């Protein structure tokens, strides 16, 4: 009998343990349930970071394991956020509108309430009607289903179109980037039905939980994010291990050979692409209630590229690397750009990190790509004493795959 998954891959256990300890520690230090050493906004930032880590782990599945550098992952993330945001917005506005209409002498009809809610929500884009895509917005179950379905369907259609015509490599990357750009531009229109560039706001107020208070709600969301990250990690680790995962990695390394061996490459790619999109959508649905606002700028191509940056810095091809990268880079980023980092005085010039952080990030990204392709997770190998065989030295010929000096001599 095979050993259980977690024993075959002890890194899973370590990851889950660290996650649990982290969540527990934050809870103990939070304002809602503990000493209050960590402010509520910090708890939210940490919760959001966990969601980003989940998106990064899903990105790693797609990129690190199947070799599809998808530069449109944040489109799925934001779509998940939009789907849950629709319910949050309608439910909350309904509460407010019902409250104000109840003071009228004649009780309002349902049509009147829904009309007032629509006016309230869509007044900013000059409309007083619910667009058709809001049909399910009244029901939490419906919108939760859409959180999974909409990113999944988009990935299915897009992936099917792209994979069946054998678009791959950088072409696929550019195409995914175009997809998220098209979606962002579409959502920026006022008549897209999702409030144009105003986006959806006030999402941090959860209808029915007004009495809980933000300091406790933020911890709840932290728990939910941690749970989602843990489960998502387990699931992706399960998919990536075993036969399925082996085929996926083989596709990454030599797609044509796998195809000649008789595997349906497109099928494998599509399953993984859709799964990653769904997980990313769920991460987004947890992220935006903590962020409080979502607008089309979240879908800008740059956001997805950042996701790839995190995965690369963390170390792609291993799931914990992606999570570490996302947590590390996004926290360091917010530290530097939040103005909390002390200025660096060089004597002739004072480096303000708010201005220079991007430059540093860009350059460190180049350096990581050049010199540490394994990223931060490569340190784990170093600790374990794993060294890749040194194939270094100059290539003997200019062709692709030419033997390198040491390979030839050893």
The residue among 101 and 212 lying less far from another protein, judged by its C-beta, is 101
Q: How far apart are CA 52 and CA 229, in angstroms?
A: 9
Min dist. Cβ of residue 286 to another protein (A): 27
- The smaller minimum CB distance to another protein, of residues 110 and 410, is found at 110
In angstroms, the CA 365 to CA 372 distance is 10
- Measured from the CB atom, the residue of 267 and 397 that comes closer to another protein is 397
CB of 174 to another protein, least distance (A): 5
Is residue 180 within 8 A of residue 71, CB to CB? The reply is yes
3-state helix, strand, coil in the chain (%, to 5): 70, 5, 25
Report d(CA 54, CA 231) in Å as an integer: 10
> Which is nearer to another protein, 172 or 285 (by Cβ)?
172
Q: How far is the CB of 181 from another protein (least distance, A)?
A: 6
For residue 224, the minimal CB distance to another protein (Å) is 31
DSSP string, 314-349: H-TTSHHHHHHHHHHHHHHHHHHHTT-SPPEE-SS-
The distance between the two most distant Cα atoms of the chain, rounded to a whole number of Å, is 94
Nearest approach, Cβ of 406 to another protein (angstroms)? 17
Cβ proximity to another protein, 219 vs 361, nearer residue: 361
23: number of Cβ within 10 Å? 21
E strand or H helix at 359, and its extent? helix 353-371
Q: Which is nearer to another protein, 173 or 290 (CB)?
A: 173
By CB under 8 A, name the binding residues for another protein: 67, 69, 104-112, 158, 161-162, 164-167, 169-171, 173-175, 177-179, 181-183, 185-186, 188-189, 191, 301-302, 305, 308-309, 312, 355-359, 361-366, 369-370, 373, 397-402
From the list 264, 272, 263, 274, the residue with the least C-alpha distance to 238 is 272
As measured in angstroms, the least distance from the Cβ of 82 to another protein is 16
């Amino acid at each position: 009998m095979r050993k259980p998954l977690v024993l075959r891959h002890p890194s899973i256990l370590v990851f889950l343990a660290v996650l649990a300890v982290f969540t527990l520690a934050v809870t103990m230090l939070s304002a809602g349930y503990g000493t209050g050493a960590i402010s509520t906004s910090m708890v939210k930032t940490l919760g959001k970071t966990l969601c980003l880590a989940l998106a990064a782990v899903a990105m790693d599945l797609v990129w690190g394991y199947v070799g599809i550098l998808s530069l449109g992952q944040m489109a799925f993330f934001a779509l998940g956020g939009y789907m849950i945001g629709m319910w949050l917005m309608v439910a909350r506005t309904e509460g407010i509108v019902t409250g104000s209409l109840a003071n009228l002498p004649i009780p309002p009809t349902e049509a009147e309430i829904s009309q007032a809610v629509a006016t309230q929500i869509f007044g900013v884009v000059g409309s007083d009607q619910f667009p058709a895509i809001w049909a399910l917005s009244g029901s939490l179950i419906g919108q939760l289903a859409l959180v999974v379905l909409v990113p999944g369907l988009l990935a299915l259609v897009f992936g099917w179109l792209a994979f069946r015509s054998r678009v791959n490599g950088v072409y696929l990357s550019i195409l995914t980037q175009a997809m998220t750009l098209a979606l962002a531009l579409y959502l920026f229109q006022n008549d897209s039905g999702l409030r144009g560039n105003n986006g959806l706001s006030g999402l941090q107020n959860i209808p029915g939980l007004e009495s809980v208070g933000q300091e406790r709600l933020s911890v709840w969301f932290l728990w939910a994010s941690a749970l989602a990250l843990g489960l998502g990690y387990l699931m992706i680790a399960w998919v990536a291990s075993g036969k399925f995962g082996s085929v996926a990695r083989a596709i990454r390394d030599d797609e044509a050979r796998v195809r000649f061996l008789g595997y349906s490459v497109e099928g494998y790619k599509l399953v993984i692409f859709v799964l990653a999109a769904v997980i990313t959508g769920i991460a987004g649905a947890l992220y935006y209630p903590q962020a409080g606002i979502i607008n089309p700028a979240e879908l800008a191509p740059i956001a997805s590229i950042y996701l790839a940056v995190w995965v690369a810095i963390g170390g792609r091809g291993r799931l914990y690397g992606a999570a570490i990268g996302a947590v590390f880079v996004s926290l360091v980023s917010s530290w530097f750009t939040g103005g909390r980092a002390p200025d660096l005085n060089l004597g002739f010039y004072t480096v303000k990190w708010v201005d220079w952080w991007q430059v540093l990030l860009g350059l460190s990204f180049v350096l990581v790509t050049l010199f540490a392709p394994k990223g931060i997770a490569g340190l784990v190998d170093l600790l374990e004493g794993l060294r890749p065989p040194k194939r270094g030295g100059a290539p003997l010929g200019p062709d692709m795959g030419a033997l390198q000096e040491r390979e030839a001599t050893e």
